[in-house]
Structure 1
């Protein structure tokens, strides 16, 4: 027979639950279990069942009946090979005698004490294992069903505090093992629920700092300091103040310990984090430089634009899923950064730093580097995965800061430009004021790229500049194209989608070699103030992901060679177009006539769909401009 207190009250016979009866009987057993093997006064039981001075005249009789019923229950399930529980009548009340191994509360205390002893002895790995086993016994709030019925006993508060203490001990052991990434999410959740526990905030700050999130670590300290001052009129303790100073000065003592802690990690609930692939190259540390008080008079300086990217995850029970999502996100970031001639300078957990360097410090060259950095951020906006396989929501923020740096001090062997410590601090400060899915830039970056990037000024308590999308300066006209009429039609349909918030399909069809792929690529290059996403078999779109992307800007989904797609992909596109919610989505799909021989009615059922038939472009588009209207069957509405 087993008694389960760490969650809803349960009495178990092997794996079978034993019925306990009504509320008074369950409450009597719960209060006796919280004081197991100790005498509980009748007056305390009456107060626990009815409250102070509210017990009815028949309260003692009701209590006696509950005790008698519990004895009958125990006798009916008496084990043959173990000491049965005994409910004794004492001089002043009752005592429940039970083997401690039969009550999960006692097993929790024993394993938690073993974990603390191992931690004090300098064995954090053994401590984490014992504490993990202790915390795994919990199924929710202690005696949750009785609490829901209005019971509030001091023993319940003490037991809940014991759980919080064990959680902090577990996080302490994992931090000593170097597993700060594994406990970061649970620590953030704990400090949100228990904002005044200084030890937990101390651990959260340390985990954030070791994850490359210095600004967030300092923000956690400031939140606690504000709450303590407003609610209690107190200042944080000495240890917490010392940690804040150590974070500010980048004290080397805060570094994560090396050794076995670099292995796979398990959370308090026993979920494991996927171990990173051993063969994957790790970027060297960021090269920091000190600004020179006497710049080279010959102009031997350059400009560096730093792009800092941070991704966070909502509640999730699978750290392996988070690890997989981080791997996919890091690969996407590297691909887009290199596409815009940048380099990955460092990566720590969910924070990645990319650098874009100019050849000189002149505004024209510095502007090109800054534009590449902002363009990489805008490109990443539609490509960073939105969902974690375990069901968590991924949140991202980006910041771009531009400053001068010595032109020849970079790491020539890796093409990695130097970055000043002040520039990293500036990026971290920008990330701190950014909201979810925002790209925040410094004033210097905005000044250099104002002609080619559209910005919005966020005002209020935290004023900032946010990048909205690419624009064309009045003097920077697009290159003439043989497909300008078709591109104009696609641009007008995108504007229609933007205004009406309705999905629209444009099916571009032609024979092979006419230029469907080139048309899609050119349209993608010209799209302004919208998120462009390529439909790929490895990253299928869903209505949920589209809704997340369209929360900020319209989405252009480009699908090339759709005639090669299988039926599942074709059905997925139709599902996106049939979204029950209004979403600004433009699907531009290129396909050969084979698509309609295989699926004759595909796309015909859409209320907002167009077909664009491409003919071979003339060799001299200027000479044949008068006949351009014959090149295209322009967008005949289906329905």
Structure 2
């Protein structure tokens, strides 16, 4: 007897169909076949058949259906037996009798062959597996409204096999052959990113570049309209590679050739999601602007003066130890004189440069003090000029030297601007000799959290609902899922996690674990967990057993903030939780900045927080600056400068509260309300985090008018017109720029000001005097 579920339910014996009587009998048999050789509880069977409301006669109807099925199965000569087995029923049969089991076995055979480097055998197994399908799984029952999770899972498995098959065929250069089937499946599943990536690759290889980009746009629109999500990193990088005509996309991976004496394979992290059907070219991982030519840059400088005996060898050893500490904290050491200078913000500006600088200064002081060496340290911030390969120059470096020489022995003297930036992480006390200087005392055990105004959670209700949707998915399916919340600094990632934690706190059956950078330690210290050391938790088995305990009475939610600051091991552990916790209701929500390192495991769902809409920013200002609604012009100006970032709104509001002039001054020229330091630091870091082409285009755009086109930018940029067009388009997708037809504007006026100030005055003057007759290549904006 053969049972076919991959299509309408069919039972065949000796080549002849077996008649099943009644919808209930067919549904009972189908559910038991999906779980053959497993005990199915009667309660589970009743819930599957009547998900909305179980009728009073339901148990009797199931008993009658089981009795009829036993008579039907008896015609099969005892090959299939339906047994009563507490707390329900057990359908015992040979798995080869069920097409679902054969499909899964063939799919596993194909993946094993693929892993062994045998693509021909893998393709054959995949095609045999897919040939078993005769349509939608249990199509006849699905028409009656049956929507079991098992059916969804089977459809997902079918798509995954299709994707694996397409990937192999694309690797073998068969893009023309697979294109019709690939297009049909991709159109039917517009949110399936890997499938659409394969379609884009096939179209590109067939010379249909525009069609490939159109698939990306359609996928992006579908994700945005249906789920409020942006495409994942792999799909975005593929679009970038197509725009740049990356030759790697036209080549296929060669079939593996057996080596006579193969080298031992290096250890790799377990694969969380199938790879894209191509080897990413170097251009798809666009390098950051790590070198700058002729540019003004904000930095934080640390000056260290050391008191030593007159022994050159001792001085060399101390200087070596000092440099080692600075390099561990990613500081740049400049050639020393009487004061050793360590600079933070080169080659890339970070919004936490002040924190890094003060932390480094304290480490240097404490490390040398433990060896009996006295230091005087000064920390200051300001702009430097970097030209080609020359050392940076600027008054801030001279001020830092003087500050170090004036600092009391054993103290770290910091300027007021540095103190303001580092205050959430570092404890300071006022310097007695000068009101504008402070002494850094120590690093706080825990950073001071930003105040959360009760009414200021504006514009994120949809994102909060999405997290609730994913929690519901985990609860219903009993499977883990991971959500990565991405966004620029200050956009509201931490606040979103805090609001979600408050929602979860209202449900006592849900366990919430707020993981730091080391999720293993967080598991070990979770309340209610049986005592065990973190060392025993290391490894998948320990984490799984801990998760099983925490999910004994309900779902487990792991919240991990600032994942971009975690080390690669911690990211790998958090990224692998959904794999380790297979079969457990575990929801992992990790928040990170968009520049999350490539080591982060693939898979799960990516939720990118977009800037708040203007009306949401207005509602936030109503909370932060009550009574100012009538000042329409000033509020419009302020909303434009905030650019949808909640942290910027707080910073500007604090600036307004601290002003000596009345609030209506917001309606005057922008110089009446300068950009707050926090906003400047964040935007400076955002500018340096952009790829080189985007950064060049953005700086050049700051020299144009309020509204500009690609042609106008190309005149003063070291990029060709097509490169400028591509760069501005990407900046518009990142919502750094606003676009209307072929015209662009800066989303934030403060970012334009910052980009403009990065260009040295002499270079700026020369560029603005250029004739606009044709695009000219210059090196100043590289």
> Which bracket does the TM-score occupy, shorter chain normalised?
0.3 to 0.5
Structure that is richer in helix per residue: 2
